[in-house]
Every structure is written in structure tokens, then in C-alpha cells.
């Protein structure tokens, strides 16, 4: 009888231990890192640089898209952006693209995608997409360009997504400088 009671107590204890809820993993916040100022280019004849976002990338979710579900955006459960993507891109571009206060143009970038794209083989690349606009008043675009930057990542996880998107923002700055150089730059300098 004692053996039976002992077995029941041990079984009850083992069962109780298995139903104790597991601790929730802690939330990890990602940003694009620091050190952008060291990559700054020569000042551009721009009065301001601003970044806005479409509603799909306005939140803090770190998104991904798998080739097997091409119309569905996934979000990592325990990983978030430390600030909305538009804010992160704006902070980086303000360091990467120094402005010339005497410039007469305003550069705006509307962010439309900011995610990790995973192909059929499980290989990932980050996607930073949006529209660059140059205007005189901040409203009516004089020049406009669609941007689609893709950077491969070594593995599909949130940390590599953040690192890849950091590289994508640097590439966006490079493309922006190249686009503005020449006729647009002269237009923005003319008084």
C-alpha cells in the first residue's frame, strides 16, 4: 500500500511539473545600429530629408515573406523593431545624407516595404522599397524615383534581417546620391 501511495505521489508530482507554464521568451528589440555618420557623403543641396511609411510598415513588427505563401506577411513573435521602420530609416538617412541649408529642394522617401524575403530554397534577402521624391515645397514632386533595394542575408533570422536592412539603407543612400548628382543637383542649387 505504501508503495502504491508513493507511486501516486511521484506520478502526481511529475504530472504537476509538466503542466507548469514555461517562461515566455523575452522580447528582443532591433534597430539599424550606429556609425552611420562615419559613412556620410558630401552635403547635398537639400533643405530637408524626411521619411514616411505606408500603413503596412508603420508598426514595430519585423516582417518576412516566404515563397510558399507569396501573399502573406509573417511577423516574428519575440522580435520587434525598436522604433517604426520609417523612423529608423529617417535617422540613418539624416546621418548618411547631410543637407546643405541653402539648398532649395526637399527630399522625401515613402517606405513601402521593409522585410525579409525567403525564396523556395530557404535563402533570404532583405527588401527595402519605396519612392524618392524631390520637391520645392515638400508636397508637389518635381522629380520622382521608385527604389527597390535587395541585399542577401547569410541566414533567415531577425538579427540578420536587421543587419541586412542596415546595408540596404546604406545602398539607398548611395543610390540617392547618384540619382541627385547632375541635373537634379543643379536644379536644387539654382536660385
Grid coordinates given for 11: 506520478
pLDDT the model gives residue 99: 87
**C-alpha 3 chain-centroid distance:** 61
Burial class of residue 117 (count of CB atoms within 10 Å of its CB; 0-12, 13-18, 19+): buried
Q: What are phi and psi of 131, to 5 degrees?
A: -125, 125
pLDDT the model gives residue 42: 85
Q: If you average pLDDT over residues 71-96, what whole number do you get? A: 95
Asked if the 29-189 domain carries CATH number 3.40.50.880, the reply is no
Question: Side-chain half-sphere of 118: how many Cα atoms within 13 Å?
Answer: 19
pLDDT the model gives residue 11: 56
pLDDT the model gives residue 158: 97
pLDDT the model gives residue 35: 86
- Listing DSSP states for 80-136 in one string gives EESS-HHHHHHHHHHHHS-B-TT--EEEEEEEEEEEEEE-TTS-EEEEEEEEEEEES
Question: Which percentage of the chain shows pLDDT scores above 70?
Answer: 87
Q: What is the pTM of this model?
A: 0.85
Of the listed ranges 2-6, 32-36, 155-159, the least confidently predicted one is: 2-6
pLDDT the model gives residue 6: 57
For residues 83 and 25, the answer to whether their CB atoms sit within 8 Å is no
Instruction: Give the other-Cβ count within 10 Å of 3's Cβ.
Output: 7
pLDDT the model gives residue 5: 63
The string of pLDDT tens digits covering residues 23-76 is: 777 899 999 998 888 787 888 899 999 999 999 999 999 999 999 999 999 999
Q: If you average pLDDT over residues 157-182, what whole number do you get? A: 96
Of the listed ranges 16-20, 24-28, 85-89, the least confidently predicted one is: 16-20
Question: Is a pLDDT exceeding 70 seen at residue 14?
Answer: no
**CA pair distance 60, 16, nearest whole angstrom:** 37
What's the Cα-to-Cα distance from 95 to each of 40, 77, 91, rounded to whole Å?
6, 31, 7
List the chain domain ranges: 29-189
Banded model confidence at residue 9, pLDDT cuts 50, 70, 90: low
Amino acid at each position: 500500500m505504501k508503495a502504491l501511495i508513493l507511486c501516486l505521489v511521484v506520478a502526481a508530482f511529475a504530472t504537476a511539473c509538466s503542466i507548469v507554464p514555461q517562461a515566455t521568451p523575452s522580447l528582443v528589440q532591433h534597430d539599424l545600429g550606429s556609425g552611420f555618420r562615419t559613412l556620410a557623403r558630401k552635403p547635398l543641396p537639400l533643405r530637408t530629408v524626411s521619411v514616411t511609411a505606408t500603413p503596412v510598415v508603420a508598426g514595430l513588427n519585423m516582417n518576412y515573406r516566404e515563397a510558399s505563401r507569396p501573399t502573406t506577411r509573417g511577423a516574428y513573435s519575440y522580435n520587434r523593431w525598436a522604433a517604426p521602420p520609417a523612423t529608423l530609416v529617417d535617422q540613418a538617412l539624416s546621418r548618411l545624407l547631410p543637407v546643405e541649408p541653402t539648398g532649395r529642394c526637399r527630399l522625401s522617401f515613402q517606405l513601402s516595404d521593409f522585410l525579409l524575403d525567403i525564396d523556395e530554397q530557404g535563402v533570404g534577402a532583405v527588401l527595402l522599397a519605396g519612392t524618392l521624391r524631390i520637391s520645392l515645397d515638400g508636397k508637389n514632386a518635381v522629380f520622382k524615383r521608385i527604389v527597390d533595394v535587395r541585399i542577401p542575408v547569410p541566414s533567415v533570422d531577425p538579427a540578420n534581417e536587421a543587419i541586412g536592412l542596415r546595408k540596404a539603407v546604406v545602398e539607398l543612400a548611395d543610390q540617392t546620391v547618384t540619382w541627385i548628382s547632375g541635373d537634379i543637383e543643379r536644379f536644387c542649387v539654382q536660385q
